[in-house]
Structure 1
Amino acid sequence: MILTVTPNPSLDRTYEIPGLDRGEVVRAAGERMDPGGKGVNVSRAVAAAGAPTLAVLPLGGAPGALVADLLDAQGIAVAPVPVTGQTRSNIALAEPDGTLTKINAPGPELGPEEAESLLTAVTERSAGADWIACCGSLPRGLAPSWYAELVARAHDAGARIALDTSGPALLAALKERPDVVKPNAEELAEAVGRPLTTIGDAVTAAEELRAAGAGAVLASLGADGQLLVEASGTWFASAPAAVVRSNVGAGDSSLAGFLIAGGEGPKSLASAVAHGAAAVQLPGSAMPTPADLAPDAVTLTAQIPWARPLKEAAR
């Protein structure tokens, strides 16, 4: 079972539009509404794959109730932590060429008691989890050390932790040795404090995160593919995407695929890439089912193309 933690969940509305013209009336060709937040998306991807999951998240107001209802409709167990603030609502505008414009609200501010209640809810339910995926930015009111405290408590309970966050929260959590961290290229560059222009640069940066405390690094490099750097070796994998409709939740789908396959080694990396490639070809933040996956299209190698330039250099 994969337990997910989303400190700042959202209600996500995605509109497919022909183009974005500022100051004009834009008529949407399609729309969808999904429960959002990185950990929520991981739970949705796990559930779409037919595996058990539990989503722990703070919820407040009418948007929070709707998030819970949408998750329940997808067969996802929810452990809500009530908060006084209102769960945020986000908007995404998806254009036919793959351009995505996102408007993310800040979300509610959590007080000290709410922060502690969220920690307690996770640790009380961690005993039956194979993995705990802690994902996303921290809401107002939670210190950067909050994830570090969560990792420490989860490890005390015997759980393995996959952490997908960035900035000071990531750096603080490394001291508690999370089992896997999942930065994208920009977050990886930020963590080491320098630009990354080649795949070799990304490997070196990932090795530095391991030296700082991460057990393994699963790095998403966008259209270039993904890297897995762990104690047993380093692998690189990629897969083509015929049509890119939306990249919302694609990284979260990748993390779900990685954990579903065991959370270590090249087999798990291949699963992560297959899930990510399938997700970008779906509308909005829709998560792929097994029927959407093309595992045979994944190219996996231990021969790292060190000098290959990243299509979009990370700074």
Structure 2
Amino acid sequence: MIVTLTPNPSLDRALDLDRLALGEVNRAAAVHVHPGGKGINVSRALVAQGIASLAVLPVGGAPGEQLVTLLAEQGVRTVPVPVVGPTRTNITVVEHAGVTTKINAPGTSLGLEEIDALLAAVEEQLAGGPRWLVAAGSLPPGTGDAFFVRAAGLADRYGVPLALDTSGVPLVRAVRAGGLRVVKPNDDELAELAGGELTTVGHVVEAAREVIAAGNGDVLVSLGAHGALLVTVTGTWWAGGPPLAAVSTVGAGDTTLAGYLGATGSPAERLRTAVAWGRAAVQLPGSAVPSPTDIDAGTVRVIDTPDPRLTLKEL
């Protein structure tokens, strides 16, 4: 069982357009409604591949009820924690050429009692000894930048490895506190954490080593169309494949993380699985997650110790 914690879940509405014309009336060719939020996407991807996962999330209002219903329809078990404010709705516009524009709402503010109730629900699941706790996504107003540090402390108390996927100050706070088994930034988030531009493989590896030196484990860096880099205490690997015509990039990084956590074998093989899942996700509409028949790990190439002089665009 892999437990996910999504403090700022959403309903994701994706609109398919031929081309987005700013300041004009645009008509969508199709609308997709999916459960949203990074941790929720991880749970959805795992369940779609037959791996048990349970999602802990705050739920409020009619959007929250619809979110839980949609997850149940996809076979995802949930622990909904009632909150006063309504669950947010995010909008994604996907153009025919593959350009994705995402508008994320800030989310409903959580009170101190609601935050404590959310962490108490997580602790109850940790007591059962899951394989992983995944803490992911943005933080809603009122939560505080140290929320994920508190979640990591709970995971450590029960001996459950924690994977974190967030950004900004919450990422900085959690990385500095240490104790994270997996950290999954994209290259922009890692650059913000490192405080400088990352243009080469060597830059990314160096920044990831700093994360590990702070007392953390593996760093899985998604590079968008250029694949992903995995940096561990013992080595570095890159994985990627032939160019793809992306349908939607929403949730692809979350699916990549799900593949890494759900896989077994060597670090290189886990990275291969992660990238295969992510590549499958970008070929689906909205934030849909791939089924087993969508995955093609055979197209993914893995390189041990990639040349640090290579620019990311050369990968």
Name the SS for the 1:311 alignment partner: helix
For residue 56 of structure 1, what is the amino acid of its counterpart? V
Count of matched residue positions in the alignment of Structure 1 and Structure 2: 312
The answer as to 2:263 corresponding to 1:255 is no
Partner Cα separation in structure 2 for residue 86 and residue 10 of structure 1 = 10
Query: Which sits farther off after the overlay, 35-44 or 296-305?
Result: 296-305
Q: SS of the counterpart of 1:252? A: helix
Is contact 1:63-1:88 (8 Å) kept?
Answer: yes
The reply on whether 1:225 has 2:212 as its aligned counterpart is: no
1:176 Cα deviation (Å)? Answer: 3.4
Q: How does 1:109-120 map to 2 (within 5 A)?
A: 109-120=109-120
1:240-295 Cα deviation digits (max 9, x unpaired): 34321100000000000001104971111111100011111111101011111110
SS of 1:57's equivalent in the other structure is: strand
Q: How does 1:168-187 map to 2 (within 5 A)?
A: 168-174=169-175, 175-187=177-189
Q: In 2, are the aligned partners of 1:152 and 1:176 still within 8 Å (CA)? A: no
Are 2:178 and 2:214, in contact at CA under 8 Å, matched by a contact in 1? no
Q: 1:143 maps to which residue?
A: 144
How do 1:1-315 residues align onto structure 2 when only pairs under 5 Å count? 1-126=1-126, 127-174=128-175, 175-262=177-264, 265-311=267-313
**Length-normalised TM-score, structure 2:** 0.96
Instruction: Give the Cα–Cα distance (whole angstroms) in 2 for the partners of residues 200 and 231 of structure 1.
Output: 15
Structure 2 portions without partners, runs of 5+:
none
The alignment partner of 2:34 has SS state of: strand
Contact kept in structure 1, 2:129 and 2:158, CA below 8 Å: no
Percent identity over paired residues: 51
Q: Secondary structure at the match of 1:170?
A: helix
User: Match of 1:55, SS?
Assistant: strand
CA distance in 2, matches of 1:310, 1:173: 26
Deviation, structure 1 residue 310: 2.1
Kindly state the Cα deviation for residue 119 of structure 1 after the two structures are TM-superposed: 0.7
Task: Kindly provide the CA deviation profile for residues 183-206 of structure 1, in whole angstroms up to 9, marking residues without a partner as x.
Answer: 000000000101011111111111
Moved more, 63-72 or 238-247: 238-247
Question: How big is the shift at 1:76?
Answer: 0.5
Deviates more, 1:27-36 or 1:230-239: 230-239
2:235–2:305 contact (8 Å) kept in structure 1 = no
1-structure distance, mates of 2:266, 2:61: 39
Post-superposition CA distance 1:9-64 (Å, at most 9, x none): 00010010011112222111111100100001001100110111100000100000
Instruction: State the superposition RMSD in angstroms.
Output: 1.3
- Asked if 2 retains the 8 angstrom alpha-carbon contact of 1:164 and 1:182, the reply is yes
Is contact 2:248-2:286 (8 Å) kept? yes
For 1:95 and 1:288, locate their aligned partners in 2 and report how far apart those are by CA, in whole Å: 20
Give the match's secondary structure for 1:259.
helix
3-state secondary structure, aligned to 1:128: coil
Aligned residue for 1:56, secondary structure, equals strand
**CA distance in structure 1 between the partners assigned to 2:4 and 2:81 by the alignment:** 13
Taking the aligned partners of 1:241 and 1:286, their CA distance within structure 2 comes to: 20
Gap regions ≥5 residues in structure 1: none
Supply the distance in 2 between the matched residues of 1:310 and 1:301 (Cα, whole angstroms): 14
Letter in 1 for 2:67: V
Judging changes above 3 Å, is the alpha-carbon distance between structure 1 residues 264 and 160 closer, same or farther for their aligned structure 2 residues? farther
* C-alpha contact (below 8 Å) 1:5/1:57 kept by paired residues: yes
